[in-house]
Structure 1
């Protein structure tokens, strides 16, 4: 284990001293730090562990701070069995300013909550001793820490006496197992044999033979037995004493002594055994008394039905005894109704609140339907103690609601795993479909055309032309007169009369222009056959029915009360 005041804690001491203000240590912090070496030195410059590693925070009551001396103060955290469950391997002290003042590492410890009958909880106490000059004055601690150190001497003494009395009730004034503490003489030497014995409920078990030397003969050998205080414990002690009569007594230290005779030496060769042992005809005690008594046989006058045994009446298969212990596994013991009831109660208690699915439409005995019904808090008190009003308060006073699992799937609580973090314990969660995509396609509509047009151009002309012909002559056909309309005045009658073409004058290189009239402002319409008023349909394949569900079978969910 490693513990130190942190560097921040040292700075806080100096600061508070300079400000003449008290240093108030207010909080214990418990954390589970992965990979922490409990014997490695504490990193005094480190701060608190991350919040995810802190498992518990304990506010220190004023009465849990005490001084040992002016330079030492101690703080105590007392965690009862109502706190848990968590593990820790790091403990820190924090002051009221939120400064980590001191830290300690320990081997991994468990803190468990008491949850009858399923789990036995534990109590944990952790003390932090802080030492620096003027610690008591600076921390304003005024309670003497000695008040915490309870003296359990009286308490333990009472426990010792109760145990002694219990043994006394079982073993009587004196009980010797076998030849334990029997006086014997071997090769002229007297000794007491090793073994186990109970004297006035005090257990003795010397491991080796104890040589003795009687002062004179004849002599009576006594055991002087006591529970003696040794340091912080009480232990069984005994000594051998001699005398004709020895009575119990209390010594000067107040310790009670018990004296029991074990032998009388009448002569060197005649030793009388005075131990309280079974008769020689009976087997000596060698183990637990219950086994010893069970093994004894014979006729006991005060035994009920002393003349009848199983063998006498030919009922050898009957058990030997009855028992209220539900844990026994002996075929020789008959369990009683009390034992069976206890087993049933233990089983029922451990199953209370359990939800199970049944393949019938009605709840079996000891179960209720998980249908959200309001049921009596008194009639089902054990179930109410576990569920409370988590699934509904009922009428608020005399009833409470059961969970309603009709028509829904049961899902494991996330409990910190992170797969379903927003789903609270025992709460309803509605239907949800995970985000995904679907394929789609458009149907064909057949061959068709779409309307088209041109824009209007306004009033305009369309020019036209002929190509240039070059220098040439124009000939004219022969005529019967010389009056050629539109002809050249150079035509002669002779030329016309000889029946040949007659050349005209050279016209020179020229073009023949063609003119076109204006069409006015107009547009040129383009006509395309219509495809009709229509749309292109898109088909998306259907995915399921009215709800989302896996393949399933419906059963009746019930809860154990």
Structure 2
């Protein structure tokens, strides 16, 4: 709906302000303008409709003029049930000078006169709000508009539409409760079953089944639903129609919605086309405890072709050993499989990178545990690692601080070793290199033995005839001619040189013999030997400390 002050009205405001005269609005004009679209903007330049389109002129009483604030005033027309019958979609205000001041386009409205008992009339109240600067001062209106009874016709129509759209969001295009409004054959005729349905948000409620008369043509049967104006209210109305249908707007501007009810093939073959749900009570309770199907859910839409199974409910097995790609394992099968896995692992020792035993495992710390609490583990271990208290408990293996070693089991690398017994450390036989330290500087005595008494013969050869002359003077001296003189005791004599010569000396061999050599000891002493230590307090490879547990 659109409303606006006309161009002539704007000029009138300016004129009255310049003349310092009041602007007096005196009349409502109601008209039915053919083809008028209430959603289009008002043609502010247009004048009043032709006299043939004007259906009512209403003189505004003084008390029907009021102000909302200094810049807004409102005029009210109150049409009783003694006025009618006519329809209108155009409303205008006229001032005391006969000038069209403001116009409003509205959806086609009905005004009916009360004619008992044939017709109950309706009352119509129309309010026209005008806003411009200084409106209250220029019009001279002094009555507060809040004291009036305003026209809620348009507002109530808006409420109806909002409710319809809200229902449309909830129920969709069409929603039928169980067998409500089903088209069916009864005896020799046909009927629409009673019940409740929502069509485009309009609630259609039929208290009891109603007959469908006339010849039923082959083809689709439709339900035509609309909101019908009855007095001051609008109520749901419906009718059954045939052939191909679509939503439409009738000559009075009322919107109709058409949905299929059935496909009439023959009197014995009627196909229900309603979008129905098996709702027998409150909708919220139905959703909370639904036992039917949701057609669009994937589980509902899954077919045997999707999963390649011929009969999905029966294609299941409790046997975990079943080897088939077309059989689903049940929870019973999964539980059996879990038990098989647990049983096969009972007694297994494993290292964990944490300091607490995980679920299903116990610490390998030699502790005594209950035979009844861990029957499978006791069945495997027995009292091999200790009998506990001898009756109710047994001992776990103790792996703390130890390396695991595979049981020899006849291989011969660890011969004679019993299963599950402790073995202390040992070092493999091996050799070490050694060196001797020096004792310091010292001597050893040595000798040769005698080989018997013997002599060696010697001789000189002759050097020819010669003589030696001796001087007469005593002493030793050198005489003329190079002579040496020697003085001997007992008398002096002189010997003269016989000239330069030599005498060869010879020595005979004493025969073959040997000399024994002995070396004496250097005294009592020792040589020190040092072997360096290697390693710590035990023999071990590189390792990581982990936490050993046993599966029970």
Tell me if both proteins adopt one fold, taking TM over 0.5 as the criterion: no
TM-score normalized by the length of structure 1: 0.31
- Highest Rg: 1 or 2? 2
TM-score normalized by the length of structure 2: 0.31
